[in-house]
Amino acid sequence: MALRESPLASMHEAAGAKLVEFASWRLPLQFSTIAEETRACRTNAALFDISHMGVFVLRGREAAPAVRRMLTKDVTAIPDGCAAYALLCNDGGGILDDLIVMVESQTAVGLVVNAANHDKDAAWLRQHLGGRDVEMDGRHGRGFAVAVQGPRAEEVVRTVASGPLPEHFATWAHVEMAGARVVASRTGYTGEDGFELFGDAADGPVVWQALLDTHLGLVPAGLAARDVLRQEMGYPLWGQDLDEATTPLDAGLKWAIDWTGEFVGREALARARPTRRRRGFRIEDVGVARAGAIIYGAGETIGRVTSGTYSHHLGAAIGQGYIDLSAKAEVGDDVEIEVRGKRLKARLAKLPLLPAKTQPSWSKVKGKTQP
Amino acid sequence: MNFADDVQYTETHEWMRREAEGVTVGLTDYAQGELTDIVFVELPEVNRHVDAGEEITSLESVKAVGYVYAPITGIIIAVNEKLSKQPELVNQDPYGEGWVARLQPEEPEETVDLLDAVGYRHKIENPPEEEEP
């Protein structure tokens, strides 16, 4: 199968980026070094190509109520111009995908989904729309998407954009950037303040270049840095830390469920008795634990690693995995993780491993109904 | 990508250089690039005897683990101690400061079937065609 190309591919090639295959897309893994790119994101700002993310827009009289029936989050209660993290569950409460839902109005709702799940989600959404008065528009391959993340992200985006930017976390607005119409969403996958920018594929290169031309310390960063940054924040990645056999309760994502109203999977989730829980860890030995490594507590198998990497920022190998609740292991407990036959000392840690530096969310801002 | 001219290459992405003190071994520029940022290097044991093709040590990067295999049979006579504090030297200077180990070959005159820079570059730039499903 031919790989999908980002509209920014030629720019990445010109920049000498190392490109890899990810979810049937050819995407930049690395521009300089992971250490440098992650540091830029935590201290200045980093620019990511996220054009592989799937985007669906559902329009029609019944758009919001129809989407509400499929998501754990009550879309009908999200104000216009706001967004939320939500899960798409199957009848058993297993996670089909995790996504960002963006509400323009009760008759226009956008979903930003994982690239790897795009086709599956499209089929599921179509099937569950039934005969409702809703039209679904996918725009795979027709759009560009980039993320500007870091303490200087606002300064960077403000320099290029005209018009007011969304102020609170998880709010969004239409803005003009370098002559292009762009949706600017104050969201991200790094734990830093920042924006995700969506526009037409043809405008991608101009916007990417205009952002870099601000010379405010913004550096392009690849998927490898993005993976480290999200692991420092304990954010799950579908396919590694989440799958259809895992419920939001197992994953510690109960906060993304609104129990009011009906949605697919609600009944199963209300009855579910979780037997394991997603936890973070920090390795205190020399070594890195990867997905699949067994976690031991008091000599017994108590869990399994689902993501692991090394954080230059924390100076330690870190990761996340699922721990059996029967083990009664708590945050701060010492465990061992087996890597190539050796058991490394590790400690269960609270997620996130670093405090988030995002703006206060629209849902936390008192007396606020519109962004 | 850099292909040093003064070394020989293995199919498993090590390089070796015959020097007065012995045979110096490291990871190729291509291999360090594939691994991404190297964060831990387990230093090999000095005085250990290794057969050609045997694992000398492993290197952990942010993304994956990589192994260094002995290109030649011999005894490990020195290791690059700097790598325990500065594993990134393997990324920054793979054919120089980032060397991994030095071997005393068992048979100094032994000729081994390794690639030169041209042959190794050809191998990297012409990966075997993947079969269409």
Residues of B in contact with A29 (CB under 8 A): 36
Residue A10 phi, psi (nearest 5): -65, -30
Interface of B with A in 69-128 (CB under 8 A): 88, 91
Distance, in angstroms, between B69 CA and closest chain A CA? Answer: 16
Q: Is the model's pLDDT at A139 over the cut of 80?
A: no
Domain that holds residue B88: 8-121
Output the six-digit token pair for A287. Answer: 């070594």
Residue at B2 is within a domain: no
More confident residue, A370 or A341: A341
Q: What's the CATH number where B68 sits?
A: 2.40.50.100
Contacts of B64 in chain A (CB under 8 A): 290
- Distance, in Å, from the CA atom of A193 to the CA atom of A259, rounded to the nearest integer, reads 29
Q: pTM of the prediction? A: 0.95
Chain-centroid distance of CA A76 in Å reads: 22
Helix (H, G, I), strand (E, B) or coil at A121: helix
Q: Looking at residues A102-116, what average pLDDT do you find?
A: 97
pLDDT-derived band of residue B89, with 50, 70 and 90 as boundaries?
Answer: very high
Residue B59 lies in a domain: yes
Report, as an integer, the average pLDDT of A343-356: 96
Into how many domains does chain B fold?
Answer: 1
Residue B131 within a domain: no
Q: Kindly identify which residue of chain B lies nearest to residue A33, measuring between CA atoms.
A: B37
| CB proximity B2 to A under 8 Å | no
Higher-scoring residue by pLDDT: B77, A23: B77
Strands B65-69 and B55-61, bridge-based pairing: antiparallel
Query: Cβ B58–A340 below 8 Å, yes or no?
Result: yes
As a whole number of angstroms, the distance between CA A280 and CA A287 comes to: 16
pLDDT value, residue A358: 96
The residue-averaged pLDDT of A324-348 equals: 97
Cβ of residue B42 closer than 8 Å to a chain A Cβ: yes
Compute the nearest-CA separation of A286 from chain B (Å): 7
- Is residue B70 in a domain? yes
B119 band by pLDDT with thresholds 50, 70 and 90:
very high
**Is pLDDT at A233 greater than 50 in this prediction?**
yes
Average pLDDT over residues A186-191: 98
Q: CA A138 → CA A66, A119, A255, distances in Å?
A: 16, 10, 28
What's the complex ipTM? Answer: 0.89
Confidence tier at A366 by pLDDT (50, 70, 90) = low
Give the pLDDT of residue A371. Answer: 42
Q: Which of A3-7, A91-95, A195-199 is least confident?
A: A3-7
- Domains, chain A, ordered by start: 4-51+141-232 (3.30.1360.120), 52-116+244-272 (3.30.70.1400), 275-349 (2.40.30.110)
Does the pLDDT of residue A369 top 90, yes or no?
Answer: no
**DSSP H helix total and E strand total for chain A:** 8, 21
The number of C-beta contacts closer than 8 angstroms across A and B is 41
Report the pLDDT value the prediction gives residue A131, as an integer from 0 to 100.
Answer: 82
Q: How far is CA B18 from CA A331, B24, B75, in A?
A: 52, 7, 14
Q: Could you tell me what percent of chain B has a pLDDT over 70?
A: 96
pLDDT at A368 over 80: no
Looking from the CA of B92 toward its CB, the CA atoms found within 13 Å total: 8
Per-residue pLDDT at A1? 64
* Mean pLDDT rounded to a whole number for chain A: 95
Q: Is there a domain that residue B16 lies in? A: yes
Does any domain span residue B132? no
- What is the pLDDT at residue A65? 95
Q: Establish if B55 touches chain A: CB-CB under 8 angstroms.
A: no
Phi, psi of A305 (to 5 degrees): -75, 140
Residue B104 lies in a domain: yes
- Comparing C-alpha atoms, which of A132, A95, A90 is closest to residue A116? A95
B133, pLDDT greater than 50? no
pLDDT digit string (tens) for A274-291? 999 999 999 999 999 999
State the smallest CA–CA distance between residue B102 and chain A in angstroms: 23
> Does B58 touch chain A if contact means CB atoms closer than 8 Å?
yes
Residue B34 belongs to some domain of the structure: yes
CA-CA-CA-CA dihedral for A309, A310, A313, A316, to nearest 10: 120
